[in-house]
Amino acid sequence: MTDGLRRFLLTTAALVAAVVAYAVVTAPPKRLVLPPVASRTVAFGAYHVHTTRSDGAFTPDEVANAARQANLSFVILTDHGDASRPPDAPRYVNGVLVIDAVEVSVVEGHVVALGLAGAAPYRLGGEARDVIEDIHRLGGFAIVAHPDSPRPDLRWRPPAASAGSRNQIADLSGADGMEWLNADNEWRDERPLRIFQTLINFPVRPAESLARLMSRPTAALRRWDALTRRRPAIGLGATDAHGFAGRFYAQTLASLSQAVEMRAPWSGAPAGDAALVLDALRAGRAWTMVSAFAGPAVARLAAKAGAESAVMGGSLTATTEPVEITATIEGAAHARVAIWHNDREIASGMGDVRYQGPAEVGAYRAEASLAGFSMPWIVTNPVYIAAPPPIATAVPAAKPQPDDLLIPLTPGGDWAIEHGPTSDGSVAMDPGGGVRFGFRVGTVRPGLEYSALARSMGETAESFDRVEFTGSSSAPMRVLVQFRLPGGSDGERWSRSVYLDTTPRPITVRMTDVTPVGFQATRRPVVARVKSILFVLDTLNTAPGTSGEILLKNVRLARSRPVSGPNGEEQVRRPGQK
């Protein structure tokens, strides 16, 4: 061995030793292992995990094995999709319960659909309010994913022309809950030096190093607290694990866990056990724990007023009697436990805390923290006092008023078919009254394929604020009801998606509830002079190659308020317009 090679090897060994020593010295504290949980109705798992079926690095079975290494009992897979694939039946893999769900892309961001009874009869997509309505119709519940992500394309982003639906926007379009924490978000806003430090420490304490990237998600917690002032809303902690090149599933899953308090112990039957987990999540009997700090731990939260009591996820009725809220982290006397109400801390203690005071309406949740960490260790779902019900997302039928102006669109007249390159359609008058619209969506150019039934209004000077009709279809489907208004070379189009199936039902689509098609606007029309109305099937919700029939009866444009503006319409402003 030459002297030069010897010096190189010695220098390299010294550098490696220095890096190892630095990694050991600067590593985060080792996870505190607490006594095993005695309760058979408490389970710890991972929610929001991706596999090779979408953009993950592990197969479902490999993810389950990684969850076992992380000492988890269940894992909820949320691969990207449109819910047209039937969810896999729950199953046990190496002792881990695998539950299948789906993450659906919507206009506003992403929504996780849990507990679907089966495949959606058509593609889920479009506006969140419609997708959430469909998830509920399919027996599931909806969680808004990473609403405050540092990445703009992942963040919840209501359309600019949402002034007519402020309640739904504040209400996250009627979703059943949201992710108050998303682990995949936590590294995205870190400085490169912090990321480098994590990489250095990762081989020494992987889960603890990942958890050190977490900081209190203030914006998301405030959003959740604001939501729970209005109605019950589930808060979940998402690992959002993809594995990436390093395939570090076990380490990621060991850093964060979602705990549930089930109504009964597991029986060993996958379907029944999965139902217990999903029922606990849906009911809000759940808490998130940063497992890399300490664990396992059971959180208890309860409220009592007079003879009435409720536990985490439950609700008391409004009362004038004093309320007592208690929160406990079993076996963790070293943890600081605080009760939060309306985005403020109202009481705290070590190991447990008790609050007594007037029964103010709203949500009461608990947080537990450990010395040396700014990130909460445990965050529970709330217990409520007089929580109102969620906002409905379905399109209701209008009740005619005495002063309504109604213009029937008779079965005869100017009904016509518009379609994409290889799509087609037909129109016929129904013997029982109404219009039959046969459609076929083509397959050659999916992004451009559509079939539409259009009715021209000619040169009428009347202005309207809604369309009313009774609709049914040969199979469950979503139809875009579009208004074509004056403006541009071919007019401006505004639309609203509605659900149809074999049962005829009255439907009303209001101008204040439509969104622009193909252009940006800062406000919706209140009333407008309509050039034509269209019923459209396109590849957003309809698979290429689909054919069917829609029956429309009693189609009419209506107005029940005075028009504004010299042309009987309200100006639709675009950004920058005066």
From residue 48, how far is each of 134, 250, 485, 512 by CA, in Å?
20, 14, 42, 35
pLDDT of 247 strictly over 50 = yes
Hey, what are 551's tokens?
Answer: 């029956």
pLDDT band per the 50, 70, 90 thresholds, residue 9: low
Q: Peptide bond preceding 296: is omega within 30 degrees of 0, i.e. cis?
A: yes
From residue 128, how far is each of 101, 157, 286, 461 by CA, in Å?
17, 11, 25, 34
Higher pLDDT: 4 or 156? It is 156
pLDDT band per the 50, 70, 90 thresholds, residue 259: very high
Most confident of 148-162, 170-184, 389-403, 536-550: 536-550
For position 576, what pLDDT does the model report? 36
pLDDT band per the 50, 70, 90 thresholds, residue 246: low
Higher pLDDT: 85 or 14? It is 85
Q: Which residues contact 406 (CB under 8 A, 6 or more apart)?
A: 400, 556, 557, 558
Between CA 34 and CA 537 the distance in angstroms is: 56
For position 334, what pLDDT does the model report? 94
pLDDT of 109 strictly over 80 = yes
pLDDT of 453 strictly over 50 = yes
Q: Which residues contact 95 (CB under 8 A, 6 or more apart)?
A: 68, 73
The arithmetic mean of pLDDT across residues 336-357, rounded, is 96
pLDDT of 570 strictly over 80 = no
Q: Does domain 405-559 have CATH number 2.40.50.140?
A: no
Residues in the chain: 578
Environment class of 1 (CB within 10 Å of its CB; exposed 0-12, middle 13-18, buried 19+): exposed
pLDDT band per the 50, 70, 90 thresholds, residue 426: very high
> What is the share, in percent, of the chain residues with pLDDT greater than 90?
65
For position 571, what pLDDT does the model report? 42
Q: Which residues contact 61 (CB under 8 A, 6 or more apart)?
A: 93
Which of 53-67, 355-369, 514-528 is least confident?
514-528
pLDDT of 1 strictly over 70 = no
Which of 164-168, 240-244, 278-282 is least confident?
164-168
For position 401, what pLDDT does the model report? 59
Which residues, listed in sequence order, are joined to residue 558 by a DSSP beta bridge?
406, 466
Which of 106-115, 128-137, 196-205, 262-271 is least confident?
196-205
Phi and psi, residue 410, nearest 5°: -65, 155
Between CA 354 and CA 9 the distance in angstroms is: 62
For the chain, how many helices (H) and strands (E)?
9, 34
Q: What is the mean pLDDT of the chain?
A: 87
The arithmetic mean of pLDDT across residues 294-309, rounded, is 95
pTM (two decimals): 0.90
For position 165, what pLDDT does the model report? 47
- Whether 276 and 262 have beta carbons less than 8 Å apart is answered as yes
pLDDT of 237 strictly over 90 = yes
For position 149, what pLDDT does the model report? 93
pLDDT band per the 50, 70, 90 thresholds, residue 578: very low
Dump pLDDT digits (tens) for 266-296: 999 999 999 999 999 999 999 999 999 999 9
Residue with tokens 């208890």: 300
pLDDT band per the 50, 70, 90 thresholds, residue 405: confident
The arithmetic mean of pLDDT across residues 219-232, rounded, is 94
- Whether 481 and 519 have beta carbons less than 8 Å apart is answered as no
Higher pLDDT: 61 or 165? It is 61
Dump pLDDT digits (tens) for 70-96: 999 999 999 999 999 999 999 999 999
Dump pLDDT digits (tens) for 500-537: 999 999 999 999 899 998 887 777 888 888 888 999 99
Between CA 129 and CA 425 the distance in angstroms is: 28
For position 462, what pLDDT does the model report? 75
The arithmetic mean of pLDDT across residues 147-158, rounded, is 91
User: Half-sphere exposure (CA, 13 Å, Cβ side) for 122?
Assistant: 30
Inter-helix orientation angle 192-201/3-26, to 10°: 100
Between CA 112 and CA 561 the distance in angstroms is: 39
Higher pLDDT: 484 or 487? It is 484
For position 314, what pLDDT does the model report? 96
One fold for 41-385 and 405-559: no
Between CA 519 and CA 532 the distance in angstroms is: 18
pLDDT of 185 strictly over 90 = no
> What is the share, in percent, of the chain residues with pLDDT greater than 70?
85
SS3 at position 252: helix
Give the largest CA-CA distance in the chain.
103
pLDDT of 193 strictly over 90 = no
Domain boundaries, the chain: 41-385, 405-559
For position 194, what pLDDT does the model report? 73
Distance of CA 71 to the CA centre of its chain: 27
Hey, what are 550's tokens?
Answer: 């829609």
Nearest to 484 by CA among 539, 442, 525, 451: 525
Higher pLDDT: 549 or 30? It is 549
For position 398, what pLDDT does the model report? 57
Task: Out of 1.10.260.40, 3.40.50.720, 3.30.70.20, 3.20.20.140, select the CATH number for domain 41-385.
Answer: 3.20.20.140
Between CA 35 and CA 213 the distance in angstroms is: 26
pLDDT of 444 strictly over 80 = yes
